[in-house]
Structure 1
Amino acid sequence: MLADVSLDALPRHYDAFGLLFGVRNYAGFEPVAPGRGLPENASADLLGLQLADSDHGHTWVAWTQLACIDWRARAPRVDDRIHEYKLTSEGPLFNGKAGHHGRAWRAVAGEHADPRGSSYPEGTEWRAAGRMWRVERLSHGDVLRTDPQLRALLDTMRDLAEQNGDDNVRLVVWFDS
């Protein structure tokens, strides 16, 4: 049985790509299903798709593997992206993460500071102008907390597995960048 679940609603969530498939793995996760290519027993519908020349990283993951993920486990190293917070009276408010943080971060970290979080010990912080930049290590669960669409996709896969058997549900993906 082939169930076509639209992934159009899924954002470009690099932490999920890194955890599941090892693509854009800035968080340093040990990927669950990297670089497998298309499944040997892929459906004719899948094999008949016209993929673009720029498509790459074809891989797949079975529900049985997704169901075994320890969502409390942490990445083996800190995130390459330094996490940025706005400092509020209620405490730090997450603002985002990136490899480069502009002038405000450079003013406090130093003009020649390395913008990769993995260059610093976990917990390293810089504070200036009502903001904080922090070097952090992600857990697998952080991926789900920041991506409700991924959680919905996994819920759909779990429901399909309950109907069709755990070994009969898989997610096939490829990337276009």
Structure 2
Amino acid sequence: MGTDIAGGVELRPLGPGSPWRLADVGLDELPRHYDAFGLLFGVRNFAGFTPVAPGRGLPDDASAELLRLRLTDDEHDHTWVTGTELAAIDWDAPAPRVDDRIHQYQLTGDRMVPAGKSGRNGEAWHAVAGADADSRGSSYPEGTQWRSGSRIWRVERLRARDVLDADRELRALLETVRGLAGQHGGDNVRLVVWFDS
């Protein structure tokens, strides 16, 4: 079973001290994107990012409209992040460690086309790595790679920008939050989320 995100964007149109209101910005279009979940909130953080806003819980002053969005008892990892914090992300920063997953590519002419990511116990790359896979455990250095025909498996380190490049829905959401922050102030806009597995 996978993990999905839910929640909403809240704002204080009258500034600090005024009540939060749910903005007309849905998260329904956000795909299941673990790298985004890990970077922003520390959930399914296989890429090893230092998360921006992990484990804060629901805000004590969450709007009634936002609280009505919560539908199940299976929710977990409630947290939130302000427009100011989102604006401060260094999108060029690399993750502190390599990705837990092996990145897979298909060779097409001179290009390596991304074909997915697999856990270190995945059978396909493991079979190609052979004895090395058995003796090295999960501590391969960045850049280690294995090739079989037109397939390449690589150990890589992601940058925050890789998350945006791979997820146009997240980019659109963050642009909307940035626009609201420009209108109301970064500390008066927040993204409140939770996850369901």
Regarding TM over 0.5, the answer is yes
CA distance in 2: counterparts of 1:66 and 1:97, whole angstroms: 26
Identity of paired residues, percent? 69
**Is 2:62 the partner of 1:52?**
no
Q: What does residue 126 of structure 1 align with?
A: 146
5+ long unaligned stretches in structure 2 = 1-20
**Is 2:63 the partner of 1:37?**
no
CA distance in 2: counterparts of 1:7 and 1:118, whole angstroms: 34
Tell me by how many angstroms 1:106 deviates. 2.8
| Residues 46 and 92 of structure 1, relative CA distance in 2, 3 Å threshold | same
| Residues 22 and 123 of structure 1, relative CA distance in 2, 3 Å threshold | same
Q: What does residue 102 of structure 1 align with?
A: 123
**TM-score between the two structures when normalised by the length of structure 2:** 0.83
CA distance in 2: counterparts of 1:34 and 1:122, whole angstroms: 26
Greater RCO (CA < 8 Å, at least 6 residues apart): 2
Tell me by how many angstroms 1:118 deviates. 4.9
**Is 2:13 the partner of 1:3?**
no
CA distance in 2: counterparts of 1:80 and 1:117, whole angstroms: 12
- Whose strand fraction is larger, Structure 1's or Structure 2's? 2
Q: Secondary structure at the match of 2:95?
A: coil
5+ long unaligned stretches in structure 1 = none
Query: Cα RMSD between the aligned structures?
Result: 1.9
Aligned length: 175
**TM-score between the two structures when normalised by the length of structure 1:** 0.92
**Is 2:32 the partner of 1:12?**
yes
